[in-house]
Structure 1
Amino acid sequence: MMETKLLTVCLSFLVSVSLANNPGFVVRLTEHGLQYVRDLALQLLREELQHMDIPDQRGESGTPIGKIDYTLSSIRVESATVASLDISLDSGSGIRVSTSGVSLRMKADWRYKNRGFIHISDHGSIDLAIAVDLSLTGTSEMTANGQPTASVVRCEFNVQNVDVHFHGGASWLYNLFSGHVEKAIKTNLQSQACSKITETLNRNGQKAMETLDLIEEVGNDIQLDLRLVQSPIFESNYLESLQKGQFSYHKSPSLNFSPQPLSVPTYLSGQMFYMFVTEAMLNSAGEVYQKSGKLKLKITSDEISSSSFFQLNTDTIAGLIPGSTLKSKFPNMGMQLVVTVTQAPKFTICTDSIKSVISTDMIAYVIHPDGNLTYVFTLGLVLNSTLGLWVENTDGRLYLGLTKNITVIHGAVTVKDSIIGHFSGENIEAWLNLGVPFILHGIQTKGIPIPTVRALTFVDPHITLLEGSLAIGTDVKYDMSQS
């Protein structure tokens, strides 16, 4: 049924989340998004009506020839129209879908037999035209393990009109009292439709919710927990899903995860969806990516433009560490740096920038002409930086990553080990603003994937920085052929 798919699409994306009191990740569907869902639902409803499977109808009716039992079988829809469809949010209740002027023209086979002393039966075909109005309210709650539910809580079904026309058999006679059959069909539909619709939608909707995987695989042995932390929120102008947003490595969740209450500004309403990534979620990602060894980068001169004033060779590096024997031992030779983040990065999101504290080890090697490496020194770097972020749609997924707009506010350098004599790290601190942005950018060039659902494409995503969180606003396109 159309309403099952509609509620599943909305909730799959919204919950597309230990159960903490505060969410680490929040998804909001705005009024603009609801308008898109309305247009999508109208198209979906027309297709569903055109291809829906209608069970055989059986009933009884009083006619001029006495009481009869009738059967309508092989019911098929020839055409379907929908005059109007409206979707709205009932505050504190759920999603309300209302249709009016739904008209179906159908064909079926008919058969009847009377209940009199002399048994009479006949059969043939029949044309039916039915006009109905339907209103449903669906809602979603949270199970004990953070899974969403989907159910119909209100149904109104009103048959406006039924017209029948018999063919075959003694159809000329039956058409004279077709009104009796029309009344019987109308009464039958009116009394049974809501219970059958509700039963079907609840069964199919819950089945869809149970198969929804809220532990997102975002890399080898890295998962993102998107189970609900409370039931979805239905307000008059938005629908909101509050999810955990905690990363884990080898199924061991990040330790430092305590989301703060999220305040969403009212001015963020111009796009269909908003996804809010909190500091807690960002720090959870940093901890897990560091623990998994993914925050590691090997840099050689091949990654540096030949036109750059800074070249990764012994002559350049020796100028930064006076007193060392680097240049005399290894004159005019290339170098390789291996940069590893040694502690979980700490991120703070402000309205004007994202600040970070990142601790790294930088291990330097000399590259000999034959390609062999000789270890020369290890530096410890503690970097207080401001970061820029990018967001883009790649291969159907949304990725969040670092830009090259990285500024080191303060950098502390210690010499942990050296085979080229004692030297000070003071001059290297002056180089940090030049070299470290390149290093940090290279650590995570692809970005962290943002959860989505199949057949959903993001359109014009952009980032807004808030206090303690960042908002990714985006429009979407949904391809029903892939659903």
Structure 2
Amino acid sequence: MFLCCWLGLVALIPTTLSTNPGVKVRLTEKGIEYGRQLGMAVIQQKLGSIKIPDFSGTEKVSPIGKVQYSLSNMHIVNVGLPKSSVDLVPGTGVTLSIGDAFISLNGNWRVKYLRIIKDSGSFDLDVNGLSIATTISIKSDETGRPAVSSDSCSATVGSAKVKFHGGASWLYNLFTTFIDKALRNALQKQICPLVADAVSDLNPQLKTLNVLAKVDKYAEIEYSMVSSPTVLKSLIDLSLKGEFYNIGKHQEPPFSPAAFNLPPQNNNMLYIGMSAFTVNSAAFVYNNAGVLSLSITDDMIPKSSPIRLNTKTFGTFIPQIAKQFPGLMMKLLVKTVKTPTLTFQPNNATVQAITTVTAFAIQPNSTLSPLFVLNLEASVSARMFVSEMKLAAAVTLNKMDLTLDKSYVGDFQVGPLENVFHGVLKLVVLPAVNAQLAKGYPLPTIGKMKLMNTQLDVLKDYILIGTDVQFS
């Protein structure tokens, strides 16, 4: 996989324009070096597939006279690429240079001279001082995914050393004078096309970039570029849209991403900055889908809990419930009033949620009789973490406030119910929320990419994921 850990990210050409990105990705020198190592392995493999056709000719060799020669069955036995570098050209693109490379091959030789004398044997050839330089162009294909190609390439073959097995010493003169040049030309003609193939072979991998990643049946997240990549001397910064959408309906939320800058760090290969905008766009999408609600019945509360969802328990705090609806089970409907809002501060992620809680008595015929509606404002802390290739979270309750919105059973004081609803939140609502958050949301990835040595920090207005990568 040729340099795919970074070219795949660099190669996105913007299809949309936005003031600020929701997600930023930075590839560091460490990541570029890993990409170089991957690329060299692929190019080395490609050069090992060089095919040199059989060729023959007639030359005059002193003191033998005319010599008919042929070389056949030539094949590569070893390729070495001891020196290589990938250089970023600020504001433009990528150059790949390979120096002091060598190729070893062997084959068979046959000569005929003085009309009747024939000789044959095998030979080994070591070609040294091979150098390759190529520039890589980056564009977008018709699907909005990246595509790369070798824009220009040059290759030169240095010295060659041959060892014949069998035959006389004059064969070396024949090689040095005539065959050496022919073999070098045959090699040089194939090197750049093979390098171009190695770059082109990256494109199927680039097509796996999750420009639009499905999350579940309600949501997908878009990771298209909102501006051209910023290529500096030692790093590449990418600006991705990083916005959740309802599947089949791309509606923009009533808020925009705020500007943020990644800090100067170089411990990991890759850094991903995800803004509060991205997470809040997810809340907007799920709220639009109408799934930020939860119906709670008594069987969802642990049997060990003293809190029971029935009119007897609630009648302790609101006597008229027990009088008007004796001996009935209850149901609670928790529903968001507005989209929850997440804020990032250093080492702290907080979600503010405003919901209503509607309480019903369940009649023997299963109809629901409304009892009251409460306004519930809750603040929860979110612990963010990376699980495989996804960003996941877990929340814990900070505080909650209850006020009465409507009563169907007469006035009552809300204060005595606070402990009950505090318990309902901790025992039922938050576990349900955490079960969903634990499934995670896909990060921008390409191919069979694995994250390693991952760290996550909460900073002002965004979270920073530092990670190394590995491709299988």
Which bracket does the TM-score occupy, shorter chain normalised? Answer: 0.7 to 0.9
Tell me how far 1:283 sits from its aligned partner. Answer: 1.6
User: CA distance change for structure 1 residues 163 and 388 in 2, over 3 Å: closer, same or farther?
Assistant: same
User: CA distance change for structure 1 residues 113 and 325 in 2, over 3 Å: closer, same or farther?
Assistant: farther
Could you tell me whether the CA contact under 8 Å between 2:208 and 2:447 is conserved in 1? no
The one-letter code of the counterpart of 2:466 is G
Tell me how far 1:328 sits from its aligned partner. Answer: 6.6
1:32 to 1, 25, 30: 30
CA distance in 1, matches of 2:359, 2:106: 80
Task: Point out where structure 2 has 5 or more consecutive residues left out of the alignment.
Answer: none
Give the 3-state SS of the residue equivalent to 1:150 in structure 2: strand
* Structure 1 partner of 2:471: 478
1:404 to 374, 395, 409: 395
CA distance in 2, matches of 1:69, 1:89: 50
CA distance in 1, matches of 2:110, 2:150: 35
Q: Does 1:322 align with 2:318?
A: yes
1:448 to 435, 441, 446: 441
Describe how 1:375-454 pairs up with structure 2 within 5 A. Answer: 375-377=369-371, 379=373, 381-393=375-387, 396-401=388-393, 403-408=394-399, 411=401, 413-416=403-406, 418=408, 420-428=409-417, 435-436=424-425, 439-443=429-433, 444-445=436-437, 446-454=439-447
CA distance in 1, matches of 2:283, 2:118: 77
* Structure 1 partner of 2:18: 20
Could you tell me whether the CA contact under 8 Å between 1:55 and 1:73 is conserved in 2? no
Tell me how far 1:219 sits from its aligned partner. Answer: 1.3
* Structure 1 partner of 2:60: 64
Describe how 1:172-321 pairs up with structure 2 within 5 A. Answer: 174-179=171-176, 180-190=178-188, 193-194=191-192, 196-197=193-194, 199-201=196-198, 203-206=200-203, 208-209=205-206, 212-256=209-253, 258-266=256-264, 268-301=265-298, 303-306=300-303, 308=305, 310=307, 312-319=309-316, 321=317
Could you tell me whether the CA contact under 8 Å between 1:353 and 1:465 is conserved in 2? yes
User: CA distance change for structure 1 residues 456 and 211 in 2, over 3 Å: closer, same or farther?
Assistant: closer
The one-letter code of the counterpart of 1:354 is A
* Structure 1 partner of 2:458: 465
The one-letter code of the counterpart of 2:34 is Y
Moved more, 71-80 or 58-67: 58-67
Could you tell me whether the CA contact under 8 Å between 1:60 and 1:68 is conserved in 2? no
Moved more, 355-364 or 232-241: 355-364
2:351 to 343, 356, 359: 356
With the length of structure 1 as denominator, give the TM-score of the two structures.
0.77
Tell me how far 1:282 sits from its aligned partner. Answer: 1.2
CA distance in 1, matches of 2:35, 2:189: 30
Give the 3-state SS of the residue equivalent to 1:236 in structure 2: coil
User: Once the two structures are aligned, what percentage of the paired residues are identical?
Assistant: 24
Tell me how far 1:264 sits from its aligned partner. Answer: 1.3
Tell me how far 1:325 sits from its aligned partner. Answer: 0.8
Give the 3-state SS of the residue equivalent to 1:359 in structure 2: strand
CA distance in 2, matches of 1:229, 1:128: 52
User: CA distance change for structure 1 residues 372 and 62 in 2, over 3 Å: closer, same or farther?
Assistant: farther
Could you tell me whether the CA contact under 8 Å between 1:15 and 1:227 is conserved in 2? no
Of the two, which has the highest radius of gyration?
2
- CA distances 1:196-247 after superposition (whole Å, capped 9, x unpaired): 2464356444565456452212212522111111222222332222111122
User: CA distance change for structure 1 residues 167 and 440 in 2, over 3 Å: closer, same or farther?
Assistant: same
* Structure 2 partner of 1:157: 155
Q: Does 1:6 align with 2:5?
A: no
CA distance in 1, matches of 2:230, 2:66: 53
Give the 3-state SS of the residue equivalent to 2:158 in structure 1: strand
The one-letter code of the counterpart of 2:237 is E
Q: Does 1:102 align with 2:101?
A: yes
Give the 3-state SS of the residue equivalent to 1:130 in structure 2: strand
Moved more, 456-465 or 308-317: 308-317
Instruction: Give the superposed CA RMSD.
Output: 4.2
CA distance in 2, matches of 1:363, 1:126: 89
CA distance in 1, matches of 2:368, 2:118: 99
Could you tell me whether the CA contact under 8 Å between 2:229 and 2:236 is conserved in 1? yes
With the length of structure 2 as denominator, give the TM-score of the two structures.
0.78
Moved more, 305-314 or 446-455: 305-314
User: CA distance change for structure 1 residues 163 and 447 in 2, over 3 Å: closer, same or farther?
Assistant: same
CA distance in 2, matches of 1:53, 1:234: 33
Could you tell me whether the CA contact under 8 Å between 1:337 and 1:363 is conserved in 2? yes
- CA distances 1:402-437 after superposition (whole Å, capped 9, x unpaired): x233313x535443564x555454544566655435
User: CA distance change for structure 1 residues 80 and 351 in 2, over 3 Å: closer, same or farther?
Assistant: same
The one-letter code of the counterpart of 1:104 is I
User: CA distance change for structure 1 residues 472 and 64 in 2, over 3 Å: closer, same or farther?
Assistant: same
The one-letter code of the counterpart of 1:258 is S
Tell me how far 1:103 sits from its aligned partner. Answer: 2.8
Tell me how far 1:139 sits from its aligned partner. Answer: 4.9
CA distance in 2, matches of 1:106, 1:330: 94
User: CA distance change for structure 1 residues 202 and 6 in 2, over 3 Å: closer, same or farther?
Assistant: closer
